[in-house]
């Protein structure tokens, strides 16, 4: 059994909490010719950027990814601390000014209320606690990537069903065109003889051999059997790609180009209204298929 077909469109979210710190990963992906990632992480967590890119490269082949990590440290404990460097500058300065002005020496309250003397600082976290939290954040990243893979595969399954249905339509139209093509030589000969009769009052002046040559040339120019055979081969190849699954979007897109080339040639060679109508319907169906294929990884 082949691998699952994946879409390049998806969304995933994973959350976690440890020691009063909460976090959430958000992953979004859209169509892209290659694999491209834009990652936003808070200050102090830049090391995760490389890990994100490495994990994406291991799990995906194509798509434009937007990854965002939000961390909330509001519950982290803080303490009041004296900035010794500023305090050592303030005390001598306050004492000198008090002496120069013969004023009352500043109180402790007054000194402590000066900006910068007292400051709130986060309590230092033990290294093992920080390592544990970072490990859990990376685990949440893996969970988000796994969820993204599932959503892309679910969407890919829907794309596969739609593409299979459209390939069935192309196959049906190819068979209808083949039936009409079988009647083309006789129809061309009939039209040629009618036109010749209208142009010449006496058709006996034209040799049977010359008539046969002209009709053969017209039939050869209008022959679409090769185009129809290639269409059938492309349908079979596309079905095989969908069956085998995996990252097949590029090859399916190439086949859509080949489909369109054959349909264009069919229309240009057609001298029959019904066959031209089939060619136009073929082109419309191929375009619908191409729009779906653009989303396949």
Angstrom distance (rounded) from CA 240 to CA 254: 14
pLDDT of amino acid 219: 46
Strand 63-72 to 35-40 pairing? parallel
User: Which bin fits 224, alpha (ψ -120 to 50), beta or left (φ > 0)?
Assistant: alpha
pLDDT of amino acid 182: 59
pLDDT of amino acid 206: 52
The answer regarding whether domain 156-293 maps to CATH 1.20.1600.10 reads no
pLDDT of amino acid 193: 52
Task: Kindly report the pTM of this predicted structure.
Answer: 0.70
Q: Judge whether 141 and 124 are in contact, CB under 8 Å.
A: no
- 10-residue averages of pLDDT along the chain (297 residues): 85 93 96 94 92 96 96 70 76 74 70 72 75 95 97 95 96 89 56 53 54 52 75 95 93 95 85 85 96 94
Q: Judge whether 167 and 289 are in contact, CB under 8 Å.
A: yes
pLDDT of amino acid 123: 63
pLDDT of amino acid 267: 84
pLDDT of amino acid 116: 75
């Amino acid at each position: 059994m082949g691998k699952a077909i994946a879409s390049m469109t998806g969304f995933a979210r994973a959350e976690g909490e440890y020691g009063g710190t909460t976090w959430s990963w958000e992953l979004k992906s859209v169509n892209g010719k290659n694999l491209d990632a834009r990652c936003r992480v808070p200050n102090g967590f830049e090391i995760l950027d490389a890990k994100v890119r490495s994990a994406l490269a291991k799990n995906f082949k194509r798509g434009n990814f937007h990854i965002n990590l939000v961390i909330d440290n509001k519950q982290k404990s803080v303490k009041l601390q004296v900035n010794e460097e500023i305090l050592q500058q303030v005390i001598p300065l306050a004492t000198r000014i008090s002496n120069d002005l013969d004023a009352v020496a500043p109180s402790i309250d007054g000194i402590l209320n000066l900006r910068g003397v007292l400051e709130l600082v986060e309590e230092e976290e033990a290294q093992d606690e920080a390592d544990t939290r970072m490990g859990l954040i990376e685990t949440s990243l893996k969970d988000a990537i796994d969820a993204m893979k599932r959503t892309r595969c679910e969407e890919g399954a829907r794309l596969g069903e739609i593409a299979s249905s459209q390939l069935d339509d192309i196959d049906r139209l190819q068979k209808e065109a083949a039936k009409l093509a079988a009647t083309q030589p006789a129809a061309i000969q009939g039209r040629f003889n009618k036109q010749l009769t209208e142009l010449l009052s006496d058709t006996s002046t034209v040799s049977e051999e010359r008539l046969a040559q002209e009709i053969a040339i017209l039939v050869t120019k209008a022959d679409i059997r090769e185009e129809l055979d290639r269409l059938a081969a492309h349908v079979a190849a596309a079905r095989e790609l969908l069956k085998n699954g995996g990252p097949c979007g590029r090859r399916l897109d190439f086949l859509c180009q080949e489909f369109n080339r054959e349909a264009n040639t069919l229309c240009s060679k057609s001298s029959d209204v019904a066959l031209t109508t089939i060619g136009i319907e073929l082109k419309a169906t191929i375009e619908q298929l191409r729009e779906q294929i653009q989303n396949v990884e």
